[in-house]
Structure 1
């Protein structure tokens, strides 16, 4: 199945849930900057995607599997799909640890829904492998997660199709780790230049 012209990369769903503005900067304005976190994630994915299919303990492991869904308007690459008999089991690799938001789960669920459309088989669950803990976290593709995935896919596709770039909302815990921070400058654009400058001066001040 080849993606249509308006098909969106599955990775955009994670970007949208993390920050709609980040999603638009990447997928509308084509802005991308790598930092330590994104580089570590890229290396982990390259390791997961590399190598030929293999079979162990009756499980056939496929790597870098191209997936797509005309219904969702999504396409992407599943890091690993384990074939347990004829049953696909998607596994997505992440560099860090489980997050408070559901971006990773939505990304994995989107892969599963693509695989369901491609294979005609229901996929009840999959797994997220986190590099920091070196453990798998099983994810059940229940009705609420599937609905959230459809909702996010629709919102992200609409925003990208319209070329809409949301205004920034500055949240230190999120923005400080974002590789696009310099291009986005959320402090200046969200709160005004004077407030942003005052914060910069305050941070630079050294206690006597």
Structure 2
């Protein structure tokens, strides 16, 4: 990407989950589906087809709302943004899984909130993740720590996509088995290479009693 191109907000989510995955998707256009991504695509497609509405409580709900920030160099789309009668604005991101906290999802909602703040000129202190499988929301407080994390991630993702250097695999027992790019990434090769390097280094270590 060029240095002036906006960074997709979704790239911040991918980067926080795994920098290598972020690079493969956004720099090399590599992507394959698994059951998790297909469910997510289905859920987002359902939301995209909805039209704006006003609830009985007077909350105006906008779906698939484009957002951007010139200051951060970000662009993206909110699944849902609620505009409440008291003037508060509340972005809601849809995820297909069970209700649990993933920092990369919180980062995505915070980035959306910061874009809305710049666009609307008002503070957005909270947002939420709607977990489809649990059918429950999890509120995300957009505090100073999360805001700083968004700014840092935006800079790091821009540098990653501009420098065009593929990061090494993370080989993480929690994240890698669920990743749709596992076969492309092949994190087990990194583990094997590390093991070989350890064995090779041990072959050339002199014994303590060697004269």
Shift of 1:87: 2.8
- Separation in 2, partners of 1:97, 1:154: 30
Which residue of structure 1 lines up, in the alignment, with residue 140 of structure 2? 139
What corresponds to 1:191 in structure 2? 192
CA distance in 1, matches of 2:102, 2:90: 23
Residue 157 of structure 2 is matched in structure 1 by 156
How many aligned positions are there? Answer: 192
- Rounded Cα–Cα distance in structure 1 between residues aligned with 2:66 and 2:191: 38
**d(CA) in 2 for partners of 1:101 and 1:49?**
23
CA distance in structure 2 between the partners assigned to 1:60 and 1:123 by the alignment: 16
CA shift, 1:98, in A, is: 4.1
Matched, 1:83 2:115: no
- Distance (whole Å) between structure 1 residues aligned to residue 77 and residue 98 of structure 2: 21
**TM-score (normalizing by structure 2):** 0.86
Q: Helix, strand or coil for the counterpart of 2:77? A: strand
Say if 1:28 and 1:164, in contact at 8 Å, map to a contact too.
no
Aligned to 1:192, what secondary structure does the other structure show? helix
How far residue 190 of structure 1 moved from its aligned partner, in angstroms, is 4.2
Secondary structure of 2:137 counterpart? strand
Corresponding residue for residue 34 of structure 1: 33
The 1-side partners of 2:89 and 2:101 are apart by: 27
Find the residue that maps to 1:173 and give its secondary structure: coil
Q: Helix, strand or coil: the match of 2:174?
A: helix
User: Mean Cα displacement is larger for which, 167-176 or 38-47?
Assistant: 167-176
Q: Which residue does the alignment assign to 1:165?
A: 166
Deviation track 1:93-141 (CA, whole Å, cap 9, x = no partner) reads: 0111344541111000000000111111111111110012111111111
1:9 — aligned with what?
Answer: 8
Unaligned 5+ segments in structure 2 are: 197-211
User: Counterparts in 2 of 1:59-70, with a 5 A limit?
Assistant: 59-70=59-70
Distance 1:81 1:133 in 2: 20
Match of residue 201 from structure 2: none
**Contact 2:99/2:137, CA 8 A, preserved across alignment:** no
Looking at structure 1, the residues matched to 125 and 195 of structure 2 have their Cα atoms a distance apart, in angstroms, of 51
Whole-angstrom distance in 1 between the partners of 2:116 and 2:158: 20
Question: Whole-Å Cα distance in 1 between the matches of residues 102 and 128 of structure 2?
Answer: 16
Deviations 1:43-100 (A, max 9, x none): 1111122211110120001000000111111111100001113432101001113445
Question: Quick one: distance in 2 between partners of 1:19 and 1:142?
Answer: 23
